[in-house]
A and B are shown apart, each in its own frame.
Chain A
Amino acid sequence: MNSERDDIEAQDRRDLVRRGSFLKGMAASFAALSGGGCVFRPPEGKVVPLMEQPAGVFPGETLWYATTCGACTASCGALVKVRDGRPIKLEGNPEHPLSRGGLCARGQASVLDLYDSHRLRFPLLDGKEASWAALDAFVSERLNGVAVLSETIVSPTLRFAVERFLKKFPGSRLVEYDSLSASAILDAHARTHGVRTLPAYHLGKARVIVSFDADFLGSWISPVEFTKDWSPNRQPEREWDTMSWHAQFESRLSVTGANADLRVPLRPSEQYETLRQIGLAVASLVFWKGPKPPAGEPSSLNAAAVSDTAGQLARAAGRSLVLSGSPDAATQCLVNWINAMLGNYGETLVLDPAGLQKRGSETEFDRLLGDLEKGAVKGVVVLSGNPVYDHPKGAELAKFLDSAKLSLSLSGRPDETAVRCRAVAPDHHPLESWSDAEAVSGVLSLSQPAIAPLYSTRAAIESLSLWAGEPMSALDALRGRWKKSVLPGADFERRWHEALRKGVVLSDVKNPKNLRFDGRVLERLSPNPLRSAEGGFELSAYASPVLGDGRQANNPWLQETPDPISKTAWGNYASFSPEDAAKLGIVEGRVVRLSAGAASIELPAQIQKGHARGVVSAALGYGRTHAGPVAANFPVQKMLPVEREELSGADLFPLTAYSSVRVESTGRMSAPAKTQTYDEMSDPITGRRRPMVQETTLQDYFKDATSGRGKAMEVGPSLWPAHDYPGPKWAMAIDLNVCTGCSSCVVACGLENNVPVVGKAEVRKSRDMHWMRIDRYYNENGETAFQPMLCQHCDNAPCETVCPVLATLHSSEGMNMQVYNRCVGTRYCANNCPYKVRRFNWFDYAHEDLTQNLALNPDITVRTRGVMEKCSFCVQRVQSAKADARAENRAVTDGEVRPACAQSCPADAIVFGDLNDPKSAVAKKLGDPRSYAVLSELGVGPSVFYMTKVRNKKV
């Protein structure tokens, strides 16, 4: 049985149409769903009970299962919320030792990928629907001498299945690649430590972090884990020395750079030399006697920044960490050198147990292309990933896919690679399949299906073992392998179930290798030829924290979530420094052409503060041609059918083969879809700074814990006696020091609360619907601050007074309630909200995609057009926690209620609780001298408090 709340209008007529077409169109998947425990409600108010209720399942009850997030190779632990047989939300699994309860925006949104109606619903042969039998027959004849091409396989069980498959077919081999490649780091370690592996980073131990273009809080390797590590060290209220120092040298302004204490814009070509200078300075400080690297291209370096950084590093030897995102192995060798000099290996980064998130090799990929050229490899099995799109040499691969004896994709979506393959054997969505993951050696997490497969898809493990002639189910393969290698010994069943419940198992790494740095390689380093061509710009292609490499490009929630830095949604853009923009004579929104070699793309320009000069940067993951209708565009009234108007952005991957590009202006304009159009903390006329974000330096903070609070205007006495809140009084505290701007909360909130997605055209009109938004400001020094902004649940809420029909009121627990069904839509409340957090339903927003609607939260009304909506402090969670507590005859405990934003935050920046309970975490936060309320001078009495941002710097 399914309980579901829909449209507050609930117009029978529309329901009829909707349900009617739904029943027709979705009969197949529906049967699958009802098998999972659903009763459906046909039109005319019929109620059809199940034949038999599965054990332990109660209609309308929420169940949580531990699983692993499948959105990227970081493989964070996740809990999936299942309601009446439907997974409707993913949240971080607090028991997972790496992600520790955090989950990024992409992970949060991946539940929507499950219900993507653009997924493959059956196998394809030559582009046509085929039976599994026909497909298996076709594939089995052609398996000799093939290469299995895959992005890094993090599942040991799948890797085992691949190995068995390869053994069966001589001449076949596995090629791994990564769309967001870390190949250079692996290659560098192969040269300096003799083992081609990715280290496991322990940022939590690092007191000093120096990062070169490694966006570790945004999209680099395992951002959730790194944020969890990084954020506790950013709390100044601990002892004197515990706030870490973080320097970022980068070509563009990244989320990580925005949170750094020292940020230096740096062209990619300058990275080698800068690292060498820092290395030399460190070498002299730590008396390094070994070989030294040769000089690179001379560059104009910020000498103060170099010596400052080197000094900080040397002071924190063994407790520091240098990171680089450079694709150049020589540069990465310098990073290893500095880390080795500082004795960081074994402390803040470890090679054994190693990081297993990235194992791809660019060399191997090139060798595969060569072999295909020569005919040495006869066919390609694309196990996972979408190399035609997300590899710079995808176009070359595509040529071979067209002509190879066997080109087979196991993609669950008709993506760029799958459409070039002769056969497609669609894999399940991770939420439908049994699997496991080992992101760091020894940390094994399980994936379990939360729903029966919606379509006629088959697990990759099953396909591979079938073709290898040893058919077995994915569950059997998984259990078999776990029984043998993960949980050997007695009592397997109990431990298996325990592992399933927890979702993760830690196994010891046997005999860790003690790898030593070999400095001899330094002398042989050849600095890379990254120098920009004459008149050209260096290219910095990056993955944004919200869309990553673009595999989820058809996910409306990710498309609508703005980039944390540029605040632009629905598409990428080419960022320039203001100086370069002036030189080129371009303004924001001017379409520019970036070209190099044969590749050329057009993007609107974006002028970015803090961007390195001579560099153009743009996000990967956009401009997909075969991702689906959402990636193409998104009309406001309907999700389907969609007229293709324009691509949301352009594909940058082909350009990443080049380090520099030519930039020309086309003369056309294309307005970016921005959710925030004014960027500064100070106003443009008087230049006076507004005090919504209050910030200070660590030095000042220790002198005066309330420093940086600014001078708030005095609030006069109230005319009215305050209302008292005899029960709980809910409140929230947000720590600006650790909010990285990653936008995980934005997505979590949207999914929890059925917030509509409105599309590019509407976002352009400033009509984004986010209840929780992250404001990004630049201060007078050009530094960045993020400020999550949501309904402040003011005690003296200005919005409440003005509503003529009592559609917004104050609850007895201090929450500002919005009653959608009472709202007539005067928008007066939104006008009178000083924080502008209220959102109006300008249209009936798209709920036409019936599959997608399965992800709606049944505890929340779907709002119709013409009503106001806003953050409710996740009142449904408060309600259910209270009901649970009452059923168990106890009070609600502190921390039991966590709104979706607080739950999802990888930095634990958001604390929620009862202000009337002096022992609650939020009450303690309020007592902190750093706490302040935004616009408190208005006397509105917000229930949301912020903690002053403290920067670890001297001035």
Chain B
Amino acid sequence: MISGRTLAQGAGCESKMSPEFFKAAAVCHLSEKDFKSLELSEGKNVLLKNEFGQVVLTAKADAGLPDSMVFIPMGPWANVIVGKETGGCGTPHFKGLEVEVAATNSPVLNIRELFSGMGVSGYV
């Protein structure tokens, strides 16, 4: 998995709560072959899973991607499956992560739902 910037994600990155940002960032790009082999179609979702977490995203075919690679626009959805380890130099591994991909019927969480489990907890 790699995460990175896209034009639409960039345009929405200062309005994170908007539906535009949701549309722009809660997606997962797959190679055309992978897209087919998972029997996906426009609007279908995929579940991405690794040791750090799991997230459901809208699947999108992307001719520019090689097989066995997924691309997710940088942002809160991608970050669910990024680990906290900084490898000694301060920056988490946002790219080059192993992830399992499967088609799913589960819905994509919107940004509020995504963080609903992460409310303010009991610090003093």
A and B form one complex: no
B residues neighboring A (CB under 8 Å) = none
